[in-house]
């Protein structure tokens, strides 16, 4: 059964981009533009996780969070436009399970949603393993096999590979990969992605000079080869 | 840290001052005293000399103009005086003849009982020591030798009070070996020459003088030490009083530099240090307020930029992931976000220009009535959809020669002011309410008032409504109001025209913004 996610943001346009993405990821998604409606939906619909914007008219996200925590253990991810340390601490203290600072990528949001759900629901699902042709990726344990042979990867290489492998055929720019693997602090080192890619190819490809798994799209970026 | 503290400097300068003053006092008073002594001695000596000259003249004439007969008499006189001086200093009469005149006349010096030499003509000889007898008990000055030299330089008389060998040592008049006083001696037409009077030696006045100097030096040195001690003690406490607040202040400043704003300075008093502390407190409050505004601004700008960026990124990602087709209509909302971001950047730019007083106004004859009319027309659809009654009133001009709304101003900026005010009023007015724009004027100013029947603004928020990004409702949202820059911009533009903007509000009744703009810019600009 699909997990239910309630997304609350006063900006309809934000909801418009989050909803289709999470739905594509296999979640059931409903939205609310204010705290009042969010509280009603949370009670009636009983979602597994709530993505909650901090700044809401009338009832703020923090108040909604406090209200929910009175009688619910629903997973909550706070969205905030503020990166101040104090804000994060407050958010986590009043019972949010995670927070995400705007602007954020939809991939990152999905990853957080999954992580929080796993952590909170403590459901021992089968270990999540991505299978792409002869490549298998254990998302939990950071392990990669090719033809049942384990390949040793650095954490950065693993994250780049995972990002590409999650959506075979989708082209990712170096910046996107850089942020996915190393966070926003390393965006100026966009080109180091090339180095990591060449290491990955040396470890995984039959012929690194003619890559099949990780393909270069000239002038744009990289993609995971489909089959 | 090896720094010289204010306290040290203060104490050192106080000690230095005491020393300097003592030195100056010592030098000046010493010079003055020596001068006085010398003057007194000279007067006394010349007086004594003239006295002796009279005595010599008397004996010389009475002994038949013979120096040889005069000498023994004078010798006796000197010896007698010498012995009497040692016997009784205070009351001594000196007569021309020791037998007849001794004690016959006693002349007391009024100022200081001293010995007098009384020649036959009745005048009084006051020896130099008469004045000093009271203050000094040791060696007195006495006349020990008398020498008379004639006009040709021959010594005609030389008598001494002491032993008879002494004169033999003087072969000539030697004024260097003893202290000699010269005095012109003229006895009628018979004689003309010089009288030399020798004192007993270097004692007398000189020793008196040195003794006074000694005691004076002693007194000054001790006084100086005492004064220095007192000054240092006093200075210590004074400097402590002075520097303690400074220490506290510098501590507070250091703490403030580390970001701790709540350091009590606790310095009262109306002196300079107290004023400094007060100024410091004011400065800190201003800095704190400024810091708060700055932080708020940074957070707000970040917030205003982050949301459009999130939307843009999300929409683009949807396209990238194939969840949305890259059709032209997909990009329209993205374009909107970019326009919104550009508008925000432009608004912030205009505001910072207004803040810096660098807003350039393109002034021309402008009728605010026209502008208001156009603004109201542009908002009429919006008002209709919100079910808000938007109306405009023009009140008659006092000066009928001029149109009500005519000013010399920048039409573009003034339009912006009205747009922002009407927009603000509309967004805060619930459906069924009304927004009214009223124009009025007098000879010098045009007034535009924008009133709404919204919920009003609580008094505690009223002073901040023109602050950028300020929202009475802390949970900002885009449904009630734009970015919170509109009123700040309206204020900046109105003030650039030399005008004012004010707000009055009653909770539950409504809010009125009033802009007053002068018809022409101040002429002194």
pLDDT higher at B416 or A81: B416
- Give domain status of residue B52, yes or no: yes
Taking an 8 Å Cβ-Cβ cutoff, which residues of chain A contact chain B?
10-11, 13-14, 16-18, 20-21, 24, 55-60, 81-84, 101-107, 167, 170-171
The residue written with tokens 């030299």 in the block is B149
Question: Are B503 and B513 in contact, with CB atoms under 8 Å apart?
Answer: yes
Tell me the pairing of strands B191-199 and B155-160.
Answer: unpaired
Q: Per-residue pLDDT averaged across A92-114, rounded? A: 85
- Residues B288, B419, single domain; the answer is no
Query: Does the predicted interface ipTM exceed a cut of 0.95?
Result: no
- Residues B374, B331, single domain; the answer is no
For the beta carbon of residue B221, count every other beta carbon within 10 angstroms.
Answer: 12
CA distance B63 to B60: 5
Q: Using the beta-carbon criterion (under 8 Å), do B307 and A59 form an inter-chain contact?
A: no
Q: Per-residue pLDDT averaged across B63-70, rounded? A: 80
**Does residue A122 register a pLDDT over 70?**
no
Q: Using the beta-carbon criterion (under 8 Å), do A82 and B479 form an inter-chain contact?
A: no
Q: Tell me the shortest Cα–Cα distance from A130 to chain B, in angstroms.
A: 18
**Does residue A162 register a pLDDT over 60?**
yes
- Give domain status of residue B232, yes or no: no
* Whole-number average pLDDT of chain B: 75
> Domain boundary residue among B338, B355, B372?
B355
**Considering only alpha carbons, which residue of chain B is nearest residue A61?**
B475
- Residues A144, A179, single domain; the answer is yes
- Residues B296, B373, single domain; the answer is no
- Residues A150, A171, single domain; the answer is yes
The tally of domains found in chain B comes to 3
- Residues B285, B400, single domain; the answer is no
Q: Residue A143 is part of a domain; what is its CATH number? A: 1.10.10.10
- Residues B63, B185, single domain; the answer is yes
CA distance B33 to A125: 114
B339 touches chain A (CB under 8 A): no
- Give domain status of residue B164, yes or no: yes
> Domain boundary residue among A79, A100, A121?
A121
Write out the residue range of the structural domain in which residue B46 sits.
6-210
- Residues A114, A138, single domain; the answer is no
Helices (H) and strands (E) counted in chain A, each on its own, are 8, 12
Q: Using the beta-carbon criterion (under 8 Å), do B306 and A102 form an inter-chain contact?
A: yes
Q: Of A44, A45, A43, which Cα lies nearest the Cα of A64? A: A43
Predicted local distance difference test score (pLDDT) of residue B473? 56
The end-to-end CA distance of chain A, in Å, is: 29
Question: Are A154 and A143 in contact, with CB atoms under 8 Å apart?
Answer: no
Write out the residue range of the structural domain in which residue A211 sits.
129-224
Report chain B residues whose CB lies below 8 A from the CB of A106: 313-314, 317-318, 321
DSSP 8-state secondary structure symbol assigned to residue B197? E
pLDDT higher at A184 or B52: B52
Q: Using the beta-carbon criterion (under 8 Å), do B337 and A56 form an inter-chain contact?
A: no
Helix H or strand E encompassing A206: none
* Residue B163, C-beta contacts closer than 8 angstroms, at least 6 positions apart: none
Q: Helix, strand or coil for residue B380?
A: helix
Test mutation, A106, A108, A167, A174, chain B, max B CBs within 10 A:
A106
3-state secondary structure B309-371: HHHHHHHHHHHHCCCCCCCHHHHHHHHHHHHHHHHHHHHHHHHHHHHCCCCCCCCEEEEHHHH
Tell me the pairing of strands B143-150 and B191-199.
Answer: antiparallel
CA distance A78 to A12: 17
Predicted local distance difference test score (pLDDT) of residue B436? 94
Q: Using the beta-carbon criterion (under 8 Å), do A20 and B473 form an inter-chain contact?
A: no
> Domain boundary residue among A121, A153, A168?
A121
pLDDT higher at A5 or B141: A5
- Residues B169, B190, single domain; the answer is yes
Q: Using the beta-carbon criterion (under 8 Å), do A104 and B310 form an inter-chain contact?
A: yes
Highest mean pLDDT of the ranges A12-26, B71-85, B390-404: A12-26
B473 touches chain A (CB under 8 A): yes
CA distance B157 to B197: 11
Q: Using the beta-carbon criterion (under 8 Å), do A102 and B299 form an inter-chain contact?
A: no
* Whole-number average pLDDT of chain A: 85
Q: Per-residue pLDDT averaged across A40-50, rounded? A: 91
Report chain B residues whose CB lies below 8 A from the CB of A36: none
pLDDT confidence bin for B296, thresholds 50/70/90:
low
Indicate the angle between helix axes A174-182 and A192-204, nearest 10 degrees: 80
Residue B145 has phi, psi (to 5 degrees) of: -155, 140
The residue written with tokens 């403590």 in the block is A122
Q: Of B143, B187, B147, which Cα lies nearest the Cα of B169? A: B147
- Residues B351, B369, single domain; the answer is no
> Domain boundary residue among A63, A92, A121?
A121
Token pair for residue B328? Answer: 């032209």
Q: Tell me the shortest Cα–Cα distance from A123 to chain B, in angstroms.
A: 29
> Domain boundary residue among B355, B387, B413?
B355
Q: Helix, strand or coil for residue B469?
A: coil
- Give domain status of residue B450, yes or no: yes
CA distance B415 to B379: 13
pLDDT confidence bin for B162, thresholds 50/70/90:
low
- Residues A92, A172, single domain; the answer is no
Indicate the angle between helix axes B272-320 and B328-355, nearest 10 degrees: 170
Percent of chain B predicted with pLDDT > 70 = 76
Q: Per-residue pLDDT averaged across B117-134, rounded? A: 41
Indicate the angle between helix axes A35-45 and A61-69, nearest 10 degrees: 30
Q: Which of B303, B309, B313 sits opposite A82 (nearest CB)?
A: B303
Q: Residue B514 is part of a domain; what is its CATH number? A: 3.30.565.10
Question: Are B290 and B298 in contact, with CB atoms under 8 Å apart?
Answer: no
The tally of domains found in chain A comes to 2
Question: Are A4 and A26 in contact, with CB atoms under 8 Å apart?
Answer: no
Q: Using the beta-carbon criterion (under 8 Å), do B314 and A24 form an inter-chain contact?
A: no
Q: Using the beta-carbon criterion (under 8 Å), do A106 and B314 form an inter-chain contact?
A: yes
How many CB pairs below 8 Å do chains A and B form together?
84
Q: Using the beta-carbon criterion (under 8 Å), do A55 and B476 form an inter-chain contact?
A: yes
- Residues B349, B407, single domain; the answer is no
**Does residue A21 register a pLDDT over 60?**
yes
Average the pLDDT over each of B150-164, B216-230, B336-350, B384-398 and give the range with the smallest value.
B150-164
Predicted local distance difference test score (pLDDT) of residue B129? 40
- Residues A153, A169, single domain; the answer is yes
Q: Is B438 exposed, middle or buried (0-12, 13-18, 19+ CB in 10 A)?
A: middle
CA distance B406 to B364: 10
pLDDT confidence bin for B118, thresholds 50/70/90:
very low
- Residues B341, B473, single domain; the answer is no
C-alpha angle A116/A120/A125, rounded to 5°? 85
Predicted local distance difference test score (pLDDT) of residue A124? 53
- Give domain status of residue B12, yes or no: yes
CA distance B29 to B430: 95
Strand partners, A130: A137
Token pair for residue B489? Answer: 């911009």
- Residues A83, A134, single domain; the answer is no
- Residues A152, A91, single domain; the answer is no
For the beta carbon of residue B508, count every other beta carbon within 10 angstroms.
Answer: 9
pLDDT confidence bin for B305, thresholds 50/70/90:
confident
Predicted local distance difference test score (pLDDT) of residue B122? 43
Q: What is the tens place of the pLDDT at every residue in B322-347?
A: 888 888 888 887 887 788 788 777 78
- Give domain status of residue B234, yes or no: no
- Residues B368, B447, single domain; the answer is yes
- Give domain status of residue B255, yes or no: no
- Residues A111, A9, single domain; the answer is yes
Report chain A residues whose CB lies below 8 A from the CB of B323: 20-21, 24
- Give domain status of residue B245, yes or no: no
pLDDT confidence bin for B471, thresholds 50/70/90:
low
B522 touches chain A (CB under 8 A): no
Q: Using the beta-carbon criterion (under 8 Å), do B314 and A83 form an inter-chain contact?
A: no
- Residues A103, A162, single domain; the answer is no
Question: Order of strands, edge to edge, in the sheet holding B500-506?
Answer: B389-394, B434-441, B445-452, B510-518, B500-506
Test mutation, A22, A58, A102, A171, chain B, max B CBs within 10 A:
A102
The residue written with tokens 């550009």 in the block is B342
Q: What is the tens place of the pLDDT at every residue in B8-51?
A: 888 888 888 888 888 888 888 888 888 888 888 788 878 888 88
- Residues B344, B392, single domain; the answer is no
Distances (CA, A) of B136 to A222, B39, B367: 118, 18, 107
- Residues A189, A106, single domain; the answer is no
- Residues A28, A103, single domain; the answer is yes
B320 touches chain A (CB under 8 A): yes
Report chain A residues whose CB lies below 8 A from the CB of B302: 81-83
Question: Are B182 and B195 in contact, with CB atoms under 8 Å apart?
Answer: yes
Q: Using the beta-carbon criterion (under 8 Å), do A13 and B309 form an inter-chain contact?
A: no
Q: Residue B282 is part of a domain; what is its CATH number? A: 1.10.287.130
- Residues A63, A143, single domain; the answer is no
Report chain B residues whose CB lies below 8 A from the CB of A18: 314
Tell me the pairing of strands B180-187 and B191-199.
Answer: antiparallel
Helix H or strand E encompassing B158: strand B155-160
DSSP 8-state secondary structure symbol assigned to residue B144? E
Strand partners, A52: A8, A78
Predicted local distance difference test score (pLDDT) of residue B45? 78
- Residues B347, B385, single domain; the answer is no
Q: What is the tens place of the pLDDT at every residue in B377-427?
A: 988 888 888 899 999 988 875 555 677 788 899 998 899 899 989 988 988
Tell me the pairing of strands A129-132 and A135-138.
Answer: antiparallel
**Does residue B451 register a pLDDT over 90?**
yes
pLDDT confidence bin for B94, thresholds 50/70/90:
very low
Q: Residue A69 is part of a domain; what is its CATH number? A: 3.40.50.2300
Predicted local distance difference test score (pLDDT) of residue B251? 85
């Amino acid at each position: 059964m699909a997990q239910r996610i309630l997304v609350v943001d006063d900006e309809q346009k934000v909801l418009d981009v989050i909803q289709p993405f999470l739905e594509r990821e296999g979640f059931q998604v409903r939205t609310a533009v204010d705290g009042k409606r969010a509280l009603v939906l949370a009670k009636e619909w009983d979602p597994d996780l709530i993505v909650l914007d901090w700044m809401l008219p009338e009832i703020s996200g923090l108040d909604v969070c406090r209200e929910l925590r009175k009688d619910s253990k629903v997973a909550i991810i706070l969205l905030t436009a503020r990166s101040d340390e104090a804000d994060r601490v407050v958010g986590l203290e009043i019972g949010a399970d995670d927070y995400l600072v705007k602007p954020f990528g939809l991939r990152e949001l999905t990853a957080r949603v999954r992580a929080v759900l796993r952590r909170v629901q403590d459901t021992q699902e089968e270990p999540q393993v991505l299978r792409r042709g002869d490549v298998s990726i254990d998302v939990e344990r950071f392990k990669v096999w090719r033809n049942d042979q384990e390949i040793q990867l650095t954490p950065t290489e693993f994250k780049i590979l995972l990002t590409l492998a999650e959506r075979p055929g989708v082209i990712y720019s170096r910046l996107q990969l850089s942020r996915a693997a190393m966070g926003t602090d390393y965006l100026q080192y966009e080109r180091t992605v090339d180095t990591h890619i060449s290491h990955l190819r040396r470890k995984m490809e039959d012929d690194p000079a003619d890559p099949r798994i990780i393909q270069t799209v000239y002038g744009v970026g990289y993609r995971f080869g489909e089959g | 840290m090896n720094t010289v503290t204010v306290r040290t400097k203060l104490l050192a300068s106080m000690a230095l001052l005491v020393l300097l003053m003592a030195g100056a006092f010592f030098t000046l008073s010493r010079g003055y005293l020596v001068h006085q002594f010398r003057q007194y001695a000279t007067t006394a000596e010349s007086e004594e000399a003239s006295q002796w000259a009279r005595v010599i003249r008397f004996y010389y004439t009475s002994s038949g103009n013979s120096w040889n007969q005069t000498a023994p008499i004078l010798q006796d006189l000197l010896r007698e005086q010498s012995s009497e001086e040692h016997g009784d200093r205070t009351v001594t009469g000196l007569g021309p003849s020791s037998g007849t005149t001794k004690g016959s006349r006693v002349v007391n010096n009024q100022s200081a009982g001293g010995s007098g030499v009384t020649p036959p003509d009745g005048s009084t000889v006051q020896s130099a020591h008469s004045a000093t007898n009271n203050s000094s008990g040791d060696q007195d000055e006495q006349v020990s030798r008398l020498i008379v030299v004639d006009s040709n330089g021959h010594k005609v008389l030389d008598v001494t009070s002491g032993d008879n060998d002494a004169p033999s040592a003087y072969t000539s008049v030697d004024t260097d070996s003893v202290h000699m006083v010269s005095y012109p001696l003229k006895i009628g037409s018979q004689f003309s020459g010089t009288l030399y009077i020798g004192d007993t030696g270097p004692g007398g006045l000189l020793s008196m003088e040195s003794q006074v100097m000694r005691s004076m030096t002693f007194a000054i040195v001790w006084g100086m030490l005492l004064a220095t001690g007192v000054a240092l003690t006093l200075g210590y406490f004074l400097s402590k009083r002075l520097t303690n607040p400074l220490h506290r202040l510098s501590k507070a400043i250091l703490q403030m530099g580390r970001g701790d704003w709540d350091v009590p300075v606790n310095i009262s008093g109306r002196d300079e240090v107290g004023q400094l502390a007060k100024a410091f407190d004011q400065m800190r409050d201003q800095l704190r307020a400024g810091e708060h505004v700055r932080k708020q601004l940074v957070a707000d700008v970040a917030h205003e930029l982050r949301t459009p960026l999130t939307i843009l990124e999300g929409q683009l990602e949807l396209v990238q992931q194939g969840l949305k087709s890259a059709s032209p209509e997909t990009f329209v909302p993205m374009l909107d976000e970019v326009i919104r971001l550009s508008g925000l950047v432009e608004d912030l730019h205009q505001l910072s220009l207004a803040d810096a007083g660098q807003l350039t106004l393109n002034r021309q004859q402008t009728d605010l009535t026209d502008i208001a009319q156009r603004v109201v027309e542009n908002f009429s659809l919006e008002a209709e959809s919100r079910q808000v009654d938007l109306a405009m009133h023009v009140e008659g001009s006092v000066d009928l020669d001029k149109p009500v709304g005519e000013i010399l101003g920048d039409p573009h900026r003034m339009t912006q002011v009205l747009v922002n005010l009407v927009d603000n009023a509309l967004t805060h007015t619930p459906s069924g309410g009304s927004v009214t724009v009223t124009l009025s004027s007098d000879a010098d100013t045009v007034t535009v008032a924008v009133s709404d029947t919204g919920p009003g603004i609580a008094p505690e928020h009223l002073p901040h409504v023109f602050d950028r990004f300020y929202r009475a409702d802390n949970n900002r949202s885009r449904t009630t109001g734009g970015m919170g820059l509109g009123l700040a911009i309206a204020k900046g533009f109105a003030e650039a025209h030399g005008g004012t903007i004010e707000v009055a509000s009653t909770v539950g009744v409504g809010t009125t913004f009033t802009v007053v703009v002068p018809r022409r810019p101040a002429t002194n600009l």
